[in-house]
Structure 1
Amino acid sequence: MPFSRPNAPHTIHGLLFVALFSLAAFQISAWPPVAALRLSPLIVGIVLGMFYANTLRGHLPATWVPGIQFSAKTLLRLAVVLYGFRITFQQIAQVGAPGLIASTFMLATTFLIGAFVGVRLLRMDRDTSLLTASGSSVCGAAAVLATEATLDAKPYKSAVAVGTVVLFGTLSMFLYPVLFRSGLLHLDPAAYGLYVGATVHEVAQVVGAGSAVGQAATDSAVIVKMTRVMLLVPLLLLLGLAVRSRGKVSVPWFAVYFVGVAAFNSLHWLPGAWVHEINVLDTFLLTMAMTALGMETGIEKFRQAGVKPLLLAGAMYVWLLGGGYLLVRWLAGRFAI
């Protein structure tokens, strides 16, 4: 047990070590050149963690490892639960039928494409395929972490999946505004926001792609994106039912608590300043989980994975770009967006 009497001091040392790296990730992500790239502390944290794993891992006490593993597993689940404070049911209602249709359809089809192409066509292992699919279809790194907890997957597989999110999500921040300004999309700012929110990976990347066009596009994109985040819960529940261990159904109860927190947040009983501070704490816990994940990932794991995760993420990205655009054009005509 990580917090048994003999192990507690070592576990705490490991937690403090991860927390120190996470604080550094916050500072680096706020540095103007990094902030301009919209790289969240989560992404910076996994990079710092991997730097440690591949340079200093052999020079620090092995007794700290339980603290690192506690951050990657238990703190992760707590962070996913607290993520519910970012969402209200009123936001979901605000997107209306077009937003719900776009979010649900793109999440479901992208995830199914990822699972099929990864496992059946590319012959990848199940966990890496599903982790990569969840990152592309839902909300990037946070979805990968939540799915890892549901599948009980190896941390290095999550790191590989997060790498694809960083690559294609960052590309989206630059490509989507260029397509809009070129006139190729034939979408107004509100419809463009729907397109961005339904197809871009990370929340920060959605903000980046939306703000490059204007406030109306950003508002639409973020609300639709948070609807996709909410849909993470039914996805995890379905995965829990599909993935069986020793004949027992694995139900990710932290996903249920996530819904409970979102429901509580919808009542607006807490002052806005409190909710903001909770979200800052949650971002820090997610950063700790990502940093710990990176600390468990040696570069040899990426070599073992090869190019297949990139091919899988690329296939899903083509669908997000093309299929998402066609869907939004249809919705724009059908609902007069």
Structure 2
Amino acid sequence: MTGLRMLAGRYVPGLLASVIVAIAAHSLASQYQAPVMLFALLLGMAMNFLSSEGPCKPGIDLAARGVLRLGVALLGTRITLEQIAALGWHPVLLVIASVVVTILLSMLAARAMGFNVLFGLLSGGATAICGASAALALSAALPAHPGKERATLFTVIGVSALSTAAMIVYPVIARAFGLDPIQAGVFLGGTIHDVAQVVGAGYSLSHETGDTATVVKLLRVAMLLPVILAATMITRARGGHESGQRPPLLPWFAVAFFGFAVLSSFGAIPPVLRKAGTDLSTWCLITAIAALGMKIQLKELTTVGIRPVLLMLGQTAFLAAWVLGMLWLAR
């Protein structure tokens, strides 16, 4: 009992602070129709004094790591094999090719621009898969290196801002190219970074487009597992995990992600529990990004320069052009 009290006293203050920031971010995002992850980051950075030495530091560290991994694991409750099969083979191959090509080119571009190649994997994975959620998941799997947290924070801010812009611009592009509802859904679901913005853009065109865009987006989320596996293999090869030890080939949160996806596919998880898992995943990720924001000082972002911005803009533009081009050729 005494041990539980000591653990509570050590972690509860920081966890509670992270949850409060997450609730405030969710409230603001709902009121202003803006990305909740972006609000969580900004509010977290405003409270960064809490992460200095003091009672909140251990709980904030736990939220930025443990709560993050739980949120990523629960993302698997959104995916079913039935959803993927309903798309047919062409969109599935398009999504797989888009993720692989975008990440590989991002890593090459990062190296050419003088960055750590892992920044290309992190930002490219966030662009190709599911925005802020992918950035957080990949950050958890990648080896420790100087500037990792700042790179993660910058990536989350970048994909959140670009995803919001895409939600407004991409439906206009879909109309301009004369895409039918299914093609428009594949384009929006295959290019916009965050799930919420995909849903908003898709249903702004039609119900059919919104349904297709959502399923395509969830397929991109499913690609998180093999990409995490690749990131973990890099970590093992470098022996550079935060603990100083070689991590398991598949981290527990990746195994749990796959397990939840399989259970959802076979109907083993009742709809009410799937919804609860999805909601809990969202709250865990918001809490984790709030904690990450608390750990970074805003002034550190002013030192990144223009090159990371150009890299992320290039990644986003390439993905949109690639998917649009593949759809055009498939006509």
Fold conserved between structures, TM > 0.5: yes
Equivalent pair of 1:50/1:296 in contact (CA under 8 Å): yes
- Comparing 107-116 and 296-305, the one that deviates more: 296-305
Inter-CA distance 75–11: structure 2 relative to 1 (3 Å threshold): same
SS at match of 1:301: helix
Q: Which residue of 2 aligns with 1:117?
A: 109
Q: Which residue of 1 aligns with 2:16?
A: 16
C-alpha separation in 1, matches of 2:250 and 2:141 = 6
Inter-CA distance 158–4: structure 2 relative to 1 (3 Å threshold): farther
1:94 aligns with 2:92: no
C-alpha separation in 2, matches of 1:122 and 1:208 = 34
- Comparing 15-24 and 137-146, the one that deviates more: 15-24
Kindly state the Cα deviation for residue 179 of structure 1 after the two structures are TM-superposed: 1.8
- Comparing 125-134 and 185-194, the one that deviates more: 125-134
Kindly state the Cα deviation for residue 6 of structure 1 after the two structures are TM-superposed: 4.6
Listed one character per residue, the Cα deviations across residues 251-296 of structure 1 (whole Å, up to 9, x for unaligned) are 2422122111110111223332222122212211111111001111
Listed one character per residue, the Cα deviations across residues 218-243 of structure 1 (whole Å, up to 9, x for unaligned) are 11111111111101101111221233
Kindly state the Cα deviation for residue 215 of structure 1 after the two structures are TM-superposed: 0.8
Q: Once superposed, which parts of structure 1, at least 4 consecutive aligned residues long, lie more than 3 Å away?
A: 3-8, 245-250
Q: Which residue of 2 aligns with 1:131?
A: 122
Map 1:175-194; keep pairs closer than 5 Å. 175-181=169-175, 183=176, 185-194=177-186
Equivalent pair of 1:136/1:317 in contact (CA under 8 Å): yes
Map 1:273-284; keep pairs closer than 5 Å. 273-284=272-283
SS at match of 2:115: coil
Kindly state the Cα deviation for residue 245 of structure 1 after the two structures are TM-superposed: 3.4
Q: Which residue of 1 aligns with 2:289?
A: 290
Counterpart AA for 2:154: V
Q: Which residue of 2 aligns with 1:141?
A: 132
1:212 aligns with 2:212: no
Counterpart AA for 2:68: L
Equivalent pair of 1:210/1:217 in contact (CA under 8 Å): yes
C-alpha separation in 1, matches of 2:321 and 2:225 = 26
Kindly state the Cα deviation for residue 125 of structure 1 after the two structures are TM-superposed: 2.3
Which consecutive residues of structure 2, in runs of 5 or more, have no partner in the other structure? Answer: 241-245
- Comparing 95-104 and 243-252, the one that deviates more: 243-252
Equivalent pair of 2:143/2:234 in contact (CA under 8 Å): no
Kindly state the Cα deviation for residue 152 of structure 1 after the two structures are TM-superposed: 4.1
Map 1:1-337; keep pairs closer than 5 Å. 6=6, 8-31=8-31, 34-35=32-33, 37=34, 39=35, 41-53=36-48, 56-57=49-50, 62-118=54-110, 120-153=111-144, 154-181=148-175, 183=176, 185-243=177-235, 244-246=237-239, 248=246, 251-253=249-251, 254-331=253-330, 333=331
Superposition RMSD on alpha carbons, in Å? 2.0
Aligned length: 319
C-alpha separation in 1, matches of 2:256 and 2:117 = 26
Counterpart AA for 1:111: I
Equivalent pair of 2:126/2:134 in contact (CA under 8 Å): yes
Equivalent pair of 2:107/2:119 in contact (CA under 8 Å): no
SS at match of 2:302: helix
C-alpha separation in 2, matches of 1:105 and 1:246 = 29
Equivalent pair of 1:88/1:263 in contact (CA under 8 Å): yes
Counterpart AA for 1:147: L
Counterpart AA for 1:282: S
SS at match of 1:304: coil
Equivalent pair of 1:13/1:64 in contact (CA under 8 Å): yes
Listed one character per residue, the Cα deviations across residues 299-336 of structure 1 (whole Å, up to 9, x for unaligned) are 122122222221111111221121111111123x2xxx
Equivalent pair of 1:129/1:309 in contact (CA under 8 Å): no
Kindly state the Cα deviation for residue 155 of structure 1 after the two structures are TM-superposed: 2.3
Counterpart AA for 1:245: R
C-alpha separation in 1, matches of 2:21 and 2:259 = 31
Q: Alignment identity in percent?
A: 30
Kindly state the Cα deviation for residue 43 of structure 1 after the two structures are TM-superposed: 2.7
TM-score by length of 1: 0.89
C-alpha separation in 2, matches of 1:266 and 1:291 = 31
C-alpha separation in 2, matches of 1:43 and 1:303 = 17
C-alpha separation in 2, matches of 1:207 and 1:73 = 28
Kindly state the Cα deviation for residue 250 of structure 1 after the two structures are TM-superposed: 5.2
C-alpha separation in 2, matches of 1:179 and 1:224 = 18
Kindly state the Cα deviation for residue 88 of structure 1 after the two structures are TM-superposed: 0.9
C-alpha separation in 2, matches of 1:250 and 1:159 = 25
